[in-house]
Chains A and B, each alone.
Chain A
Amino acid sequence: MTGDTLTSDQYIQHHLTNLTYGQFADGHWGFAHGAEDLAEMGFWSINVDTMFWSLTLGFVFLFIFMAAARKATTGVPGTLQNLCEIAVEFVEDNVTQVFGTRPNAIIGPLSLTILVWVFLMNLMDLIPVDFIPHAAQLAGVPYFKVVATTDPNATLGMSFGVFVLVLYYNFKIKGPFKFGAGLFTHPIPHWSMYWFNFILEIVDMIAKPLSHGLRLFGNLYAGEMIFILIALLPFYAQWALSLPWAIFHILIIGLQAFVFMILTIVYLTQAHETGEH
């Protein structure tokens, strides 16, 4: 609990609000302090906490793996190299199983980045919900969400990145004509149903990145929500619920990172498939 002045409602609301920087209606720039400010800022604002944590953790990922890659040896590997090789091998196995052995320079590193980065961002969920926001509040920062993947901006940003790649490969592998024709002829190959096919395919295409991003967001958001609700209990009772939930959450964290990665591979595989499926 952050203080006696907050009601449970306000407490939950506070923990679910991002630290957003943007332009107010009167023209000055600053941090939002509540829902009205956010509505005022609209699209042209940025969640500083999300960006901070995602960039920090991204660099942590790169730092660890680049350190391992620089000192990589074909002989007996050290602990760090071993750890990184486990991750690389796991990703490679999944790529080979789903995508096959088609030569593609991007799908491996892309999947590895997603797996480790999303995992690290999810991992922040295991830090007790009040530690960092409370410290930030003492430092004068009003809001500070720690788990970047509980911000739909973060997850949708990644899923749209994947979507752009999917479109790129659709154009590259199938060619614009075949890809365009596929939108009309796909589920029911009869000319009278082309309009219907088109609607279906467009919905399908838009649903992919949305569900991709929102799935990760929803899982982590719900998990975070439960941690916040548990934090509303009296301090002596919290461990009874937060401990089992945290242990269960260890599974969720890895699983959601894995699901996000495997869906990326599946979408890219579909974009590469030229025949009917």
Chain B
Amino acid sequence: MNINLTMLGQLISFVMFVLFCMKFVWPYLTQVMRERQALIAEGLEKATAAEKQLEQANESAAVELEQAKKQSAELIAQARNRANQLVEEAKEKAKEEAEKIILGAQSDIDQEINRAREQLRARLGELAIEGAEKILESTIDRGIHQEMLTKLSAQL
């Protein structure tokens, strides 16, 4: 082994390579690695947070669903009650109306009957007079027999 200028040459190229590495290799690669590390850490953190959020969302969704079910059941029950009530009211009203109608009709009928009776009564008086005239072959003096006629029609 003989030491010669090669050692110096080697030293110079060594320094040169180290400088190049320092300037063009090391900073870029280490920076990229740091940035990726940060990215991955951030991603993992976000994933954890998202998982937690999902869990919470699932829980709240379940709670809300439960509430909605309860509410809808209540609404249905209320609606059913209301419907029943309406039907009852309608029935009541209809009954009242029917009764009213029946009462009205009854009074109409009564009036008709009274009127008919009046007419009948009047007609009967006349008929009775006519009959009596024919039987007696003479006119009945209304003035004389008025009292009797009125008694008669009142009996009818």
Contacts and interface: CB of A to CB of B under 8 A. Distances in A.
B3 A113 contact: no
A74 B36 contact: yes
B30 A92 contact: yes
Contacts of B8: 157
Given A54-B13, A58-B13, A69-B24, A108 B7 contact: no
Given A62-B21, A74-B32, A109 B4 contact: no
B22 A105 contact: yes
B21 A43 contact: no
Given A45-B5, A50-B6, A157-B6, A62 B25 contact: yes
B110 interface: no
B111 to A, nearest CB: 104
Interface of B: 1-11, 13-18, 20-22, 24-26, 28-30, 32-33, 35-36, 39
> Which applies to chain A's interface (DSSP): helix, strand, loop or mixed?
helix
28 contacts: A18-B6, A20-B4, A43-B4, A50-B6, A58-B17, A62-B17, A62-B24, A65-B29, A66-B25, A68-B25, A69-B28, A74-B32, A84-B25, A85-B29, A85-B33, A88-B33, A109-B21, A113-B21, A151-B1, A152-B1, A153-B3, A154-B10, A156-B10, A157-B9, A158-B10, A158-B14, A160-B7, A160-B11
B35 A106 contact: no
A43 B5 contact: yes
A161 B8 CA distance: 10
B31 to A, nearest CB: 8
B21 to A, nearest CB: 4
B25 A69 contact: yes
A43 B24 contact: no
Interface of A: 18, 20, 22, 38-39, 41-47, 50-51, 54-55, 58, 61-62, 65-66, 68-70, 72-75, 77, 81, 84-85, 88-89, 92, 105-106, 108-110, 112-113, 117, 151-154, 156-158, 160-161, 217
Contacts of B35: 74
Contacts of A22: 4
A73 B29 CA distance: 9
Nearest to A217: B1
Nearest to B4: A45
Nearest to A16: B1
Contacts of B6: 18, 46-47, 50-51, 151, 153-154, 157
Nearest to A50: B6
Given A153-B3, A156-B3, A89 B18 contact: no
A161 B11 contact: yes
A92 B29 CA distance: 11
Contacts of B5: 43-46
